[in-house]
Amino acid sequence: MTVTGVPADGRIGTPLLRKEDPPLLTGEARFVEDLVVPGALHAAVLRSPHANARIRSLDISGALASPGVVAAFTGADLREEWAQPLPCAWPVTADIKIPEHLPLAVEHVSYGGDAVAVVVGESREAAVDALDAVVVDYEPLPAVVDLQEALTDRVVVHESLGSNRCYTWSLIPDPAAVDSAFAEAAHVVKERYVQQRLIPNAMETRGVCVVPQPFGGDYTIYSATQIPHILKVMLGIVTGIPEQKLRVVAPWVGGGFGSKLNVYAEEALCLALARRLKRPVRWTEERIENAQATIQGRGMIQEIELAADRDGRVRAVRVNLLADMGAYLQLVTPGIPLLGAFLYHGVYDIPAYAFTCTGVFTTKTATDADRGAGRPEATYAIEPAMDALAHQLGLDPAEVRRRNFIATEKFPYSSAAGLVFDSGDYGPALDQALELAAYEATRKEQQDRRNAGANKRIGIGLSCYVEMCGLAPSRVLASLNYSAGGWEAATVRLMATGKVQVVTGSTPHGQGHETCWSQIVADRLGVDPDDVDVVSGDTALSPAGMDTYGSRSLSVGGVAVWQATEKVIAKARAIAAHQMEASEEDLELVGGSFQVKGTPSRSMAIQAVAFEAFTAHNLPDGMEPGLEAQVTYDPPNFTFPFGTHVAVVEVDSETGDVDLVRYVAVDDCGNQVNPMIVEGQVHGGVVQGIAQALYEEAVYDQDGNLRTSTLTDYLVPSAAEVPSFTLGHTVTPSPTNPMGVKGVGEAGTIASTPAVMNAVLDALAPLGVTALDMPASPQRVWEAVERAKKAAEGEER
Amino acid sequence: MIPASFDYQRAASAEEAVSMLREHGEEAKLLAGGHSLLPLMKLRLATPSVVIDVGRIRELSYLRDGGDQVSIGALTRHRDVETSELLQREVPILAHVAGLVGDPQVRHRGTIGGSLAHGDPASDLPAVVLALGGTLVVQGPGGRRDIPATEFFQGFLETALAPEEMLVEIRVPKARGGWSYQKFNRRAIDWAIVGVAAVRNGTTGVALVNMGPVPLRASAVEQALAGGASAADAAALAAEGTDPSADLNASVEYRQHLARVLVRRALEEAGA
């Protein structure tokens, strides 16, 4: 870390300690479960043990008779509560199939964990105990687990839809160009990769508490959500309660990784129960429920083909995806592959592009956004494919990449997929990463060990990545059939005493908004960051917002704060000029005071200006009192962070154990507001990507049972499993926004998975291993080595 | 993750704990550090109607030099075993392996007696005590009796403890010769996929973690070594007499392969 001893005045670019941390570290921070709500009832949800079954009958009388139980309901009991089913806001095609998704299933359950009944008790224990007394008679039906099996429609998850094919979405701007590139190619690489399902595992599970207000039919909904603003809209639609009657509060939220970017059955349930029972109703998710009933990530089969010329220059890329939707479409389930759909050419100048994705229903938990959402998948396809190309050509993986980089002078670069990359400079990031990884020396050590026949083999993996952040220009979202905009709102308000209040629509769940927004305002106004207060996560206090996901906070919400601050400064300048009897052009804002250029003794502090705006005793004619500005910023383009990561692994070819011994991350997220937070985001992101490569997998058996529903079986790695990371940065400011920022929340996750897997395969290549599914568990590696050995023996004979 | 309801009682001494066990019979479970029992209760895989908390019986937390052996109170926490200078000097494998159990939180709460009495074949300490040829001292209504570690583990999570008995002490011989503990797992906090404890103390004791329903001695390996076999030749017999199960981490075949590799590495490290 670079924190200790570094002077941090809080200006942009300094590692100011996080304002969020004292309450988090002392336990003062209050999460939904911590809120004391007198008289609140506790809901417990009964879930299907079957992946696919008809409900023959459901008897809740035993639960109703249990001690401490106030009410219990079946799906049929609550059917009339729903004005609309749970929403899917991203119907990616006109003919997409959308199954009806009710908060409680009525006749049919479609995955293990589907909610079938709810018990409401005076205590959580009473409600949970009474679940055992609900009697459900299921008629089990066959599960549909495998994607290719699902496509045969031998078993259809939702009979009313007639097929498991949810949609097919294509992006092939010039099919003839792709065909001719493959026809003329000197080298063709064809690879198949499996993106295993991941469980996001936010540290805080979900929780919701709905409090009916005493008068007026209003409800306050406390939820562990990333999206209070979107949730308010959607809960109004689902329950039929007018939106203005709803207030959503996201208090301290303990992580999300995308899993809380959703509208969940339990949120609607608690609202409907509070309406029906006229009492506060709360629900806290258990960890096993979190594995089953909160969305999962990834879940794809990817086919990628590269057409390259004799020199290894890639002329076309063709991608076919099968994407596992799970049993239902949650908020943005079908759109997740589209977030990667434009990036399967990676950082390479590939003139012909073809992408097709088919969404498939299975009897599993719904998938949706999981850190990176679409972009880790894209990177995991192109980067291992580039290694396969290097292998085919007998070239160093770094050299193949260099030959194909989009040249720096080509930016802004119009990609074959249809995006305009606003900026990029890929070579220096690769150079720096190779140097930090001691690439040449490590290659030599690798060769020495191979020559010596050492059991522990070294592998080196590269991953050059680009992502699209700053979700999103609203018009682009319209073209993708997304049902909302991509703007963000901010208000900056100087109060009578000169303190600053920032109201942001971007709602944090661990990122550090309060610190960074304070730094932006402090930097521009020249005030102490401790004098800046940030209000967020409450739709009553910050009515306009599009919330937090997709590494969008800084490059959309932060820019809105910047622009609102600039507007405040403009008004303050007018007031100061009026008061100082100077012209506005002659004033400059230095260290928190307006000074007359060349005459610094004539000055007026910003706090004094704020007081003048408050009293309104002497403002320019026609000026409104008060010193505040509101901005709603709709970004003109995405931003395009990039970088190179290098992983060095040691693979024990006897046991299959993979030891990650060195990890280098060079990231370019443009200008950094707080380098310490950037480092933290990279660290966490990298570990999460390493987790996909080596540890995590949501495993389902053939009957559709989730076998990894506890943290004993689902292997989330800790600090003990990873080395200290070596971080580097290049800085290529984004020209898309005035701050030159891009976003960094997902970069580590996007880059690291292919780096690690490329390293493992690099170590095993001399043994004849050319493919390996994730996670590269010891048994999988051992089996791959054994298979390759047997194949080699067969060839010798 | 809410356990079924149960009564909680706290015992101030081993005698009191035994009399509570007598009163409640098989409906009762002893609670020491709670790191095995409480997760089972939260998953409702264990639903004792009475939990007898023995965790605060101070008199059963000790490490004593007994001449040619070391006596360890059953309620001695892993952290105290790990950092004991007596053990580090006289039975270094035990101190070392105590430092590999779970994570720091587990090691500060969990006890050696709790780990052994739980009898989990995937736990580290049972195999170490087996390889050392230790003795377990149990207390019942009729007083104390000694059980050799080799006779203590009888089935999956089943031990030679009678329902009214409590484990009170573990005795291990001093073992300053070569030793090795090979713990093969994916994350530091995990149970071993396969583990091997090897101790040279006159003869060579070898015990296996997670290679069957109970913690096992690798008898074929020990006999081969006693007969003069090389480490590599003896290790090739490591899977004999084992009955490992398959799970998400390892197939039976892979476990047996790991046992052979890890026993060889353990014997080489122990200098056998």
Predicted confidence band of residue B166 (pLDDT cuts 50, 70, 90): very high
d(CA B50, CA B47): 9
Query: Is CATH 3.30.365.10 the classification given to domain A297-471+637-796?
Result: yes
CB of A780 less than 8 A from some CB of B: no
Provide the pLDDT for residue A4: 44
Are B210 and B121 within 8 A, CB to CB?
A: yes
pLDDT of A7 > 90? The answer is no
What pLDDT sits at residue A795? Answer: 75
**Shortest CA distance from B254: residue in chain A:** A779
CB contact B45 to A (< 8 Å): no
pLDDT band at A215 (very low <50, low <70, confident <90, very high): confident
Q: Which domains does chain B have, with CATH numbers?
A: 7-53 (3.30.43.10), 58-173 (3.30.465.10), 179-270 (3.30.390.50)
**Does the structure show a pLDDT above 90 at A216?**
no
Q: What's the rounded Cα separation, in Å, for the pair A532 and A519?
A: 9
Q: Which of A288, A713, A720 lies closest to B248 in CB terms?
A: A713
* Residue A1 pLDDT class (50, 70, 90 cuts): very low
Whether the Cβ atoms of residue A592 and residue A9 lie closer than 8 Å to each other: no
Q: Show residues of chain B in contact with A286, CB under 8 Å.
A: 1
Beta carbons of A288 and B1 less than 8 Å apart = yes
Query: Which among A128, A654, A721 is the nearest to B188, CB-wise?
Result: A721
Residue limits of CATH 3.90.1170.50 in chain A? 32-141+205-253+260-293
* Inter-chain residue contact A720 with B188, CB threshold 8 Å: yes
- Inter-chain contact B5–A777, Cβ cutoff 8 Å? no
Q: What percent of chain B has pLDDT over 70?
A: 100
A420: three-class secondary structure by DSSP = strand
CB contact under 8 A, A715 and B258: no
pLDDT at residue A5 tops 70: no
Rounded CA separation B139/A71 (Å): 49
Strand-strand pairing, A108-109 and A53-59: antiparallel
DSSP-derived letter for residue B57 is: -
Q: Do A782 and B254 touch (CB under 8 A)?
A: yes
SS3 A218: coil
Q: Is A618 exposed, middle or buried, given 0-12, 13-18 or 19+ CB atoms closer than 10 A?
A: exposed
Decide if B99 contacts B110 (C-beta within 8 A): no
* pLDDT at A6 (0 to 100): 45
User: pLDDT averaged over chain A?
Assistant: 96
**Nearest-by-CA chain B residue for A711:** B190
| A3 has a pLDDT exceeding 80 | no
8 A C-beta contact, residue A54 and residue A138:
yes
Contacts of B189 in chain A (CB under 8 A): 718, 720
Q: Is the ipTM of this complex over 0.90?
A: yes
Instruction: Name which CATH class applies to A32-141+205-253+260-293.
Output: alpha beta
Chain B CA closest to residue A776: B186
Asked whether the beta carbons of residue A778 and residue B248 sit closer than 8 angstroms, the reply is: no
Predicted confidence (pLDDT) at residue B247 exceeds the cutoff of 90: yes
Q: How many beta-carbon pairs below 8 A join chains A and B?
A: 52
Q: For residue B264, give both structure tokens.
A: 């060889």
Question: A694 contacts in B (CB within 8 Å)?
Answer: 186
Q: Using CB atoms within 10 A of its CB, is residue A296 exposed (0-12), middle (13-18) or buried (19+)? A: buried
B252 near A CB under 8 A? no
Side-chain half-sphere of A762: how many Cα atoms within 13 Å? 33
Question: Which of B6, B100, B105, B189 is best to mutate for the A interface (most A CBs within 10 A)?
Answer: B189
Interval A47-86: pLDDT, tens: 999 999 999 999 999 999 999 999 999 999 999 999 999 9
Q: Which among B2, B187, B248 is the nearest to A699, CB-wise?
A: B248
CB A398 within 8 A of CB A644: no
Instruction: Determine the residue of chain B that is closest to A783 in CA distance.
Output: B254
A705 interfacial to chain B (CB closer than 8 Å): no
Looking at chain A, the domain(s) classified CATH 3.30.365.10 span 297-471+637-796, 487-633
Over residues A94-110, mean pLDDT: 98
Could you say which of B1, B187, B193 has the minimum Cβ distance to residue A286?
B1
pLDDT tens digits for range B68-116: 999 999 999 999 999 999 999 999 999 999 999 999 999 999 999 999 9
What digits encode the pLDDT tens for the residues B29-67? 999 999 999 999 999 999 999 999 999 999 999 999 999
Q: Which of A447, A444, A428, A448 minimizes the C-alpha distance to A436?
A: A428
CATH 2.60.120.330 fits A487-633, yes or no: no
The A residues from 213 to 242 touching B (CB cutoff 8 Å) are: none
Whether the CB of A196 is below 8 Å from some CB of chain B: the reply is: no
Residues forming a β-bridge with B216: B208
A129 and B5: CB-CB below 8 Å? yes
Residue type, A388: A
Bridge partners of residue A323, in order along the sequence: A300, A359
Q: Is pLDDT above 90 for A758? A: yes
- A614-A618-A623 Cα angle (round to 5): 75
3-state secondary structure of B198: strand
